[in-house]
Amino acid sequence: MTEKKAVSAEVPKETPVLKAVHLGISFGGLKAVDDFNMEIGRSELVGLIGPNGAGKTTVFNLLTGVYKPTEGAFYLNGKKMNGRKTYQVVEEGIARTFQNIRLFKKMTVLENVKVAMNKDMHYSPLASIFRTNSFWREEHDTDERAMELLDIVGLGDKKDAMAMNLPYGQQRKLEIARALGTNMRLLLLDEPAAGMNPVETDELLDIINNIRRTFGISVLLIEHDMSLVMRVCERIQVIDYGVTIAKGTPEEIAHNPRVIEAYLGKQAEKEVLNMKDASGHVIGEEGSAAAADAEPDKAEKPDETAGAGTPNR
Amino acid sequence: MPKSAKVSSLINLIGVFALYFLFLAIFESGIFGAKTDYFKGIATTACYTIIMVTSLNLLVGIMGEFSLGHAGFMSVGAYASAVFTNAIANSGIPDFPMFLLALLVGGAAAALTGFLVGVPALKLRGDYLCIVTVAFAEIIRVCFTNFKITGGGRTMSGIAKLSDFYWVYWVTVVCVTLMFLLIRSRFGRTVRAIREDYIAAEASGVNVTFYKVATFTISAFFAGVAGAIYAHYMTAMIPTSFNFAYSAEFLTEVIIGGAGSMTGSIIGATFLSALPEAMRTFARYRMLAYSIVLVIVMIFRPGGIFGTWEFSLTRLLKKIFRVKGTAPGGKGADAAKAGKTGKGASV
């Protein structure tokens, strides 16, 4: 872990970890994301919220190279990342989790993390055929590092379990451990608390704060659970119909009329203004349960989100 | 190398030799009398079928993509090696090096083809890729039916008979062990991750295209080796024998044995290549029985007979002798060992 700290220390504080400038993408005539600007500093936790179909996951897909931006650019540690493929973006240090959990289901918990560490392993096919010392050493070292990460998310004792057999909350944690395995600078969390009960959500918060402290990682969080967003995020950016409608601290966002309008429509605005975060919480919950928006990850396996969310409720 | 791994490789090595000597004893003692060559023939067939099916298992079981054109790669390997050995037939190279060279040429030709087909085709997935592989095998078949060098549609005969059973046995052991070792390394782990979820694999920093093409190429290489054995065992062949039905047969054997299980592939291949011979007397009902077996297996074991389970000689011995202290995880030669059990069953 030490080398990780050393690398991040070299990054001057002024250079933001992530900088998106006028980032945008259109599908045909539809501008899914337009003029998206964002800066995330080291160890910062920024929230990205918006109603269903606002384009949040599209932003993630842009930042991870799944989609190629049609306008603008984004930089990681000052390095332009446009046009890179997903695995190249990951190599540079952006990792993500998925809205509907995507684990390697029929592989063990430990293997799930080790797959993400593959890019930092160097032994050749010949070394694996002859089972050379470098093979055993690297496999052993990777095992140890993977176990450290699993301990951080509290899955150390489950290393030989099949990923598919983990309870829902632990699958979420495993996804985070796997993302950590890629040795990233910036972690994108796509609705990490969806389908979790309050206890699991709290544990998750602890984990997120813990990894920020330990590794100096910056986090960009998409979340429908308003209470969570309000509690943990240092800054929040709100988008609706692909356009940024507000930026600021949780306090500012909670009282921003445009945000309330986007979530509830104009009439509700006045009533809600008088209420506090608690109401936002309820609204958010509904949003995440319905959650079947037009975002591509979803569209592929809509049944998973619905099915996975229920057992805990 | 951990001690347990050393012990288990040693055990497996002994196992492979034991099976070899068993075959040696059976065939050289002349127990079967005049039928010895016939049984040797079946054993050779089982061997190259094992290589074919395990190599296809790399694609189907490990990478999770179906290929219905694997006989096409076999055909490339068979013809390339046959043309090669014909060309250097009079150079005075002894049989054994010649045999190895033929295998390498067959494998390399098939690997090259696999690479060329894989680069564009592996942008596709699932059904679409499957159709492309069918088309590929058909193209190869039509090409070989028309090329002069491959006999131009007539039987290509007069290929040197190099595939001696004992050599083929060791080639099979080596091929299966190589594939097994690759699967049990970071490469196999990565390819399995792609099978499980390619989007998540890509998001974990895996260059999906690279690993898919590499696996496809490796799989084609071993199919080419099997083809070279085939050519130098049959000594005469015709392009139409590498048809769709032959490809489908390999896929069936993978599925029946259990996609993802090398043990399953080996036993599936042995069983299904020996079965037609065993049922020769009921030739009329052969296909009927074959289909019934397939249907029964698919009903009761939809994941294949062995699922993803692997046979381990080390584990078996430990169970028998209840030896304590050595850790599990028989690497390396497990598969080779399983290969022997399989072949043992066939004879």
Mean pLDDT of chain B: 85
Residues 58-97 of A with CB under 8 A from B: 64, 85-87, 90-91, 95-96
Residue of A92, A104, A119 to mutate, testing the B interface (most B Cβ within 10 Å of its Cβ) = A104
Chain A: give the shortest CA distance to residue B44, in Å: 25
Classify A39 as helix, strand or coil. strand
Using an 8 Å CB-CB cutoff, list chain A residues near B193.
104, 107, 111-112, 115
In the prediction, which pLDDT does A274 show? 56
Fold classification of B3-346 is: ABC transporter involved in vitamin B12 uptake, BtuC (1.10.3470)
More confident residue, B197 or B288: B197
Q: Where are the domains of chain B?
A: 3-346
Q: Is it the case that residue A51 has pLDDT exceeding 90?
A: no
pLDDT in tens, A135-151: 999 999 999 999 999 99
Q: Give the DSSP H/E element, type plus range, for residue A219.
A: strand A218-222
**Cα(B72)–Cα(B78) distance, integer angstroms:** 10
Cβ contact B331–A86 (<8 Å): no
pLDDT band at B294 (very low <50, low <70, confident <90, very high): confident
Comparing A289 with B229, which gets the higher pLDDT?
B229
What residue segments make up the domains of chain A, in order of their start?
2-312
Q: For residue B328, what pLDDT is reported?
A: 44
- Specify the DSSP class assigned to residue B156: B
Residues with Cβ within 8 Å of residue A189, at least 6 apart in sequence: A96, A97, A176, A208, A219, A220, A221, A222, A223
**pLDDT-based confidence at residue B38 (cuts at 50, 70, 90):** confident
B185 vs A contacts (CB less than 8 Å): 123, 125, 128, 135
- Average pLDDT over all residues of chain A: 80
For residues A123-140, one letter each, b for 16 or more C-beta atoms within 10 angstroms of the residue's C-beta and e for the rest, the string is: beeebbbebeeebeebbe
**Contact status of A103 with chain B (Cβ, < 8 Å):** yes
Segments in A17-106 forming alpha helices (H): 56-63, 86-92
Look at residue A304 and tell me whether its pLDDT is greater than 50: no
pLDDT tens string B164-221: 899 999 999 999 999 999 999 999 999 999 999 999 999 999 999 999 999 999 999 9
The superfamily in CATH containing domain A2-312 is P-loop containing nucleotide triphosphate hydrolases (3.40.50.300)
Please tell me which of A294-308, B223-237, B322-336 the model is most confident about, judged by mean pLDDT. B223-237
Identify from A61, A76, A85, A87 which residue to disrupt to test chain B contact, counting B C-beta atoms within 10 A and taking the largest count: A87
| A192-206 pLDDT, tens digit each | 888 888 888 888 888
- Look-up of token digits 């608690």: A278
List, for residues B86-95, the tens digit of each pLDDT value: 998 888 888 8
Higher pLDDT, B210 or B156: B210
Task: Tell me what pLDDT residue A293 has.
Answer: 41
The chain B residues in contact with chain A (CB within 8 A) are 1-2, 5, 178, 181-182, 184-187, 189-190, 192-193, 196-197, 199-208, 308, 331-332
Q: Quick check: B283 pLDDT over 80? A: no
B112-145 per-position pLDDT tens digit: 999 999 999 888 888 899 999 999 999 999 999 8
